[in-house]
Structure 1
Amino acid sequence: MKSNWNGVMPAVFTWLKESKSGTLEIDFDETQKQAANILKTQGKNGSRMNGLVGSGTLGENSYLNTNQRLSLLKSLSEVAKEYSVPLISGASSETKEELAKIIEGLATVGVDTVMVMPPKTKTVPSEKEMYEYYALSEATAKDVGVTIMPYNNPDAAGYHALSTELLMKLSVLPNVTALKISTIDVSIIETLMLENKNLKILAGVDTVTVHAGLAGACGGITGVGCIFPKASVTMQEYVSNGEWAKANKISQALNSLSYLDAQPLLMEYLKLAMGIHYNDVAGGLRTFGKKLSKQQIDDVHSRYLLAKERLEVLDLIN
């Protein structure tokens, strides 16, 4: 499944349920259902999400074992095929050899593009080591029939920043189809676009969708768009058409909730907001991640209601 990357795609949540033994397990049916609901939503100008991101940061990725992750992605591939969009998933490892094995596994369950995060090492790799890490992933992806998307996430703890020089070197590898830049510093996007105006760059933080578009990003990967897909798709429509004032109104309406996308507990916060939106607070609080305090829960609830109220004025609630 190919993508031109011009648009927005949701990083869907992995919904969980209680097993008979009382432990949490993946609710495949609910996860598929919610992914389908997001993909079928249209913006005001008729466009839809143009991809599906599964088992990402918002999808409990850090807490899933290999079998859980592959089973989840296999189920999401069915939804992606139904709506004719590519399935994207992340991958990271300490060594390039381990990363190659992960990519091989992802290709067997229907993943079309792998977002390759920097290596999980305590010491900072040299530029040469970092390039070799990504080069092997690109070659492996070619062998198994998928593509890769180098993922620069310098704002997240535990991930090494990719220099603009390295990103440019990686962008010209044959099997690299796009770059994902997850940072509020959109000047990185602008710098890359000035070097190569044909680059495909996706923004990864909801608060900067409009600013990233101004800097040259062709689209983005969204978490808040899982909750308010009509608003997210419509905002990207306006960005793509250069209707900046209209896009900015939506960005401002989403601001109270988008703020959470740049916080360390973004998965827990946004998953709860999703639960509130669908009258399933208990489900929204089921996570392999951290438990939220009452103060945090109340804050998410208030932020959700404020965004909903603002979007209702703009007729952007599904």
Structure 2
Amino acid sequence: MINWEVVMPAVFTWLKESESGALEIDFDITQKQAAAVLNAQGKGGSRMGGLVASGTLGENSYLSNEQRLSLLKSLSEVAKEYNVPLISGAAAETKEELAKIIEGLATVGVDAVMVMPPKTKEVPTDEEMFAYYELAAATAKEAGLTIMPYNNPDAAGYHALSTDILIKLAALPEVTALKISTTDVSTIETLMLENKDLKILAGVDSVTVHAGLAGACGGITGVGTIFPKASITMQEYVLKGEWAEANKISQAMNSISYLDAQPLLMECLKFAMGIHHNDTDGGLRTLGKKLTQEQIDDVRARYFLAKERLEVLDLI
């Protein structure tokens, strides 16, 4: 059983140029950066409680199925070394396509699957939405996995999961947690009032503290992949109910956490990671959209402001 009362890093997929000039996965750097994040400790001595790979920040939408499985297989080695579960994102247009993706993920060491709503132009009915997740749950059960419905309508542009659907999905035995990525934490409060035993993970860094107050037990972080000590320490304070201390860290990271709720969150945070590791060229290599110079300058300013504030708190 996965312990969800933790913070987990959503790691970036690092890319390099092949001899032909095309971008390909740099498995070595991706593994090393994931290991470095898992090796970090908070001030209380705890570490990240899982490894989230090939999610929104891992360029999931742009990777081929073969690339995705190869990436996850390489990162499963890192997850096993640090004895943490490996979690992957999955999105598809149909429930049948989703089932095939989940079956594939089970072959490369994935323990749980974050399942996004169907990638359709038309909004599914509640019945269609539930059937999509129901088949995912049944497929996961056969493959020995669990699933985590992933509600992220704000930045990722997926169809929103209604509170009623989330409550129904939480009752499925294969659903062991819900990921709620929204700046409106009232959704978390509503779900917790319905069922106080739910395991809910916050997915937007700027509201980690508010999500904890609303009842979230943990979080999946993008900014924490860049500043792991700060993210882990903040979660330590949240779990202990030391809200003032947690809020100090949240405020220190606010300039960069803002990016986690924007449409280009992957491109922006990946570039910030490149700055952090003195590899700005690598940080700009993406299969997604290219940042403008104005966006590059904005990310750079936000990164250094957060770094300066975290240094004062001894959290770099």
**Secondary structure of 2:16's match?**
strand
Is contact 1:38-1:229 (8 Å) kept? Answer: yes
Tell me, in whole angstroms, the C-alpha distance in 2 between the residues paired with 1:282 and 1:123. 38
Is contact 2:237-2:245 (8 Å) kept? Answer: yes
Offset at residue 77 of structure 1 (A): 0.4
Tell me, in whole angstroms, the C-alpha distance in 2 between the residues paired with 1:172 and 1:60. 30
Offset at residue 9 of structure 1 (A): 0.2
| Percent of matched pairs sharing the same residue | 80
Tell me, in whole angstroms, the C-alpha distance in 1 between the residues paired with 2:84 and 2:148. 16
Q: How does 1:161-172 map to 2 (within 5 A)?
A: 161-172=160-171
- Name the CA shift for 1:82/1:157 in 2 (closer, same or farther; >3 Å): closer
Tell me, in whole angstroms, the C-alpha distance in 2 between the residues paired with 1:22 and 1:5. 41
**Secondary structure of 1:35's match?**
helix
Give the structure 1 partner of residue 238 of structure 2.
239
Tell me, in whole angstroms, the C-alpha distance in 1 between the residues paired with 2:155 and 2:276. 27
Is contact 1:120-1:158 (8 Å) kept? Answer: no
Number of positions where the alignment pairs a residue of Structure 1 with one of Structure 2: 316
Tell me, in whole angstroms, the C-alpha distance in 1 between the residues paired with 2:160 and 2:281. 36
Tell me, in whole angstroms, the C-alpha distance in 1 between the residues paired with 2:156 and 2:102. 23
Tell me, in whole angstroms, the C-alpha distance in 2 between the residues paired with 1:62 and 1:98. 14
Offset at residue 157 of structure 1 (A): 5.0
Tell me, in whole angstroms, the C-alpha distance in 2 between the residues paired with 1:299 and 1:156. 18
Give the structure 2 partner of residue 95 of structure 1.
94
Query: What letter corresponds to residue 295 of structure 2 in structure 1?
Result: Q
Is contact 2:155-2:262 (8 Å) kept? Answer: no
Tell me, in whole angstroms, the C-alpha distance in 1 between the residues paired with 2:120 and 2:62. 18
Give the structure 1 partner of residue 151 of structure 2.
152
Tell me, in whole angstroms, the C-alpha distance in 1 between the residues paired with 2:289 and 2:94. 28
Tell me, in whole angstroms, the C-alpha distance in 1 between the residues paired with 2:112 and 2:58. 16
Is contact 1:116-1:149 (8 Å) kept? Answer: yes
Offset at residue 21 of structure 1 (A): 1.3
Is contact 2:212-2:238 (8 Å) kept? Answer: yes
**Secondary structure of 1:151's match?**
strand
Q: Deviation per CA, 1:200-258, whole angstroms, max 9, x where unpaired? A: 00000000000000000000000000100000000000000000000000000000000
The answer to whether 1:201 aligns with 2:200 is: yes
Q: Deviation per CA, 1:59-103, whole angstroms, max 9, x where unpaired? A: 111110000000000001000000011000111111111111110
Q: TM-score, normalised by structure 2?
A: 0.99
Tell me, in whole angstroms, the C-alpha distance in 2 between the residues paired with 1:208 and 1:180. 13
The answer to whether 1:18 aligns with 2:12 is: no
**Secondary structure of 2:33's match?**
helix
**Secondary structure of 1:149's match?**
strand
**Secondary structure of 2:148's match?**
strand
Q: Deviation per CA, 1:110-162, whole angstroms, max 9, x where unpaired? A: 11000111011111111111111101100100001000001111213541111
Q: Identify which range, 56-65 or 34-43, moves more after superposition.
A: 56-65
Offset at residue 20 of structure 1 (A): 1.2
Tell me, in whole angstroms, the C-alpha distance in 1 between the residues paired with 2:156 and 2:264. 12
**Secondary structure of 1:124's match?**
coil
Is contact 2:55-2:88 (8 Å) kept? Answer: yes
Tell me, in whole angstroms, the C-alpha distance in 1 between the residues paired with 2:169 and 2:293. 44
Q: Deviation per CA, 1:6-38, whole angstroms, max 9, x where unpaired? A: 010000000011111111110000000000000
Give the structure 2 partner of residue 256 of structure 1.
255
Query: What letter corresponds to residue 65 of structure 1 in structure 2?
Result: S
Q: State the Cα RMSD in Å.
A: 0.8
Could you tell me which runs of 5 or more consecutive residues in structure 2 were left unpaired when the two chains were aligned.
Answer: none
Tell me, in whole angstroms, the C-alpha distance in 1 between the residues paired with 2:33 and 2:172. 35
Tell me, in whole angstroms, the C-alpha distance in 2 between the residues paired with 1:229 and 1:157. 23
**Secondary structure of 1:108's match?**
helix
Give the structure 1 partner of residue 76 of structure 2.
77
Give the structure 1 partner of residue 33 of structure 2.
34
Is contact 1:202-1:219 (8 Å) kept? Answer: yes
Give the structure 1 partner of residue 3 of structure 2.
4
Give the structure 2 partner of residue 210 of structure 1.
209
**Secondary structure of 2:147's match?**
strand
Tell me, in whole angstroms, the C-alpha distance in 1 between the residues paired with 2:288 and 2:162. 30
**Secondary structure of 2:4's match?**
coil
Query: What letter corresponds to residue 301 of structure 1 in structure 2?
Result: R
Is contact 2:103-2:139 (8 Å) kept? Answer: yes
Tell me, in whole angstroms, the C-alpha distance in 1 between the residues paired with 2:293 and 2:21. 23
Query: What letter corresponds to residue 226 of structure 2 in structure 1?
Result: I
Q: TM-score, normalised by structure 1?
A: 0.98
Tell me, in whole angstroms, the C-alpha distance in 1 between the residues paired with 2:253 and 2:156. 25
**Secondary structure of 2:260's match?**
helix
Tell me, in whole angstroms, the C-alpha distance in 2 between the residues paired with 1:223 and 1:189. 20
